Structure 1
């Protein structure tokens, strides 16, 4: 067995320099690791903040939709009814744009009320607050909207909608665009057989699921994303 050689002073100095270099490298790596961990922590914090903000935005959008829908809570929209435009003679008589609007509203109200009453629907014009046509592009039969003085008369008219069966004229809630898109989606799902039924009531959209009596639940749909699972 040979004797162990004692390192020279020069070799010891080289080893010391190598250790010092490794120590510096290790310190630099630790600093970089801390910097990376701090960045990851900040990213997670920002991600959580964004998630909370997205939830808040969804909530605010829902509230705006609810408020917008509430302003239409006394409205009935009539689809499929042909409203004749006011005559040229009446347009000449009118003195201002304001009068034009009054004449148009009066004409629409008289025509709508007259049609409904001719079909045996009980409707008192004194209970109507306003009546006008909705602006729709490329649609010859523009929907008409009746706004009632109170909800009692609104509900009374909707209940008589069955008297229009077979006439291709329909009485519905006056939904916002967002809710109308949800209703359109639910009707499409029903057509595909994905759900059993869908309807609107009190400006809310309902669906009935497929399945047994226990599975065929009735749900209120407030967000179009809720329909993605079907």
Structure 2
């Protein structure tokens, strides 16, 4: 009988010990879960802060280009005469312009090795806007500015950042896919409109393309 009592007592002690260990493990699991929840929230907060910082950098990068236009479609032979080309285009579209109105003019590399890609930075945004608006309305070609050789369309556009160029391309693709009527840029922003009477939406990121339905 003493052996039985001893066994029961030992079993009870083992049970108490196991129960205490289980409570300890349960508490540790709870703390671990709480720590994981805190870490997930911190990670979420850091991701949001990083996204906001990246958006701000992209916004500032585009803002720095608001006095610029990008000219494409001219032959590669003019790549070192960017300012001269801007003046010739201005004369053709009847926009008063002289060298004092141009802050910087240079060429940049392009995938098409046969065409020049010119960046013109104006001293004022007003002058840039007048030049850009008139050039777009004119639908220029190389023959309009007295170039010999095959006639080629000249494109004068806002100078977008690489990020916004990719986003604009994606928006144009979405426009075709969803049969929207308009996608355009204004002051570095990408805008879209389904019909003449529908609301204009601003495309700031890839996620905004889902609004084009």
TM-score normalized with structure 2 length? 0.84
Match of 2:158 among 170, 173, 196: 173
Deviates more, 1:165-174 or 1:67-76: 165-174
Is 1:225 aligned to 2:186, yes or no?
no
Q: How do 1:142-157 residues align onto structure 2 when only pairs under 5 Å count?
A: 142-157=116-131
CA deviations 1:33-89 (Å, max 9, x no partner) are: 111111111111111111101011111111111111111110011121224257xxx
Match of 2:188 in 1: 203
Task: State the distance in 2 between where 1:26 and 1:196 align.
Answer: 70
Is 1:124 aligned to 2:97, yes or no?
yes
In the alignment, structure 1 segments of 5+ residues that lack a partner are 1-7, 87-103
Match of 2:46 in 1: 53
- Does the CA contact (< 8 Å) of 1:121 and 1:157 recur in 2? no
Question: In 2 relative to 1, CA 195–11 (structure 1 residues): closer, same or farther, beyond 3 Å?
Answer: farther
Is 1:35 aligned to 2:59, yes or no?
no
TM-score normalized with structure 1 length? 0.79
Question: In 2 relative to 1, CA 83–178 (structure 1 residues): closer, same or farther, beyond 3 Å?
Answer: same
Is 1:76 aligned to 2:76, yes or no?
no
TM superposition shift of 1:152 = 0.8
CA RMSD in angstroms, aligned pairs only: 2.2
In the alignment, structure 2 segments of 5+ residues that lack a partner are 142-152
Q: Which has the larger radius of gyration?
A: 1
Is 1:67 aligned to 2:60, yes or no?
yes
- Does the CA contact (< 8 Å) of 2:65 and 2:159 recur in 1? yes
TM superposition shift of 1:138 = 4.3
- Does the CA contact (< 8 Å) of 1:121 and 1:163 recur in 2? no
CA deviations 1:176-215 (Å, max 9, x no partner) are: 11111111110111121254421100111111247x95xx
Aligned residues: 200
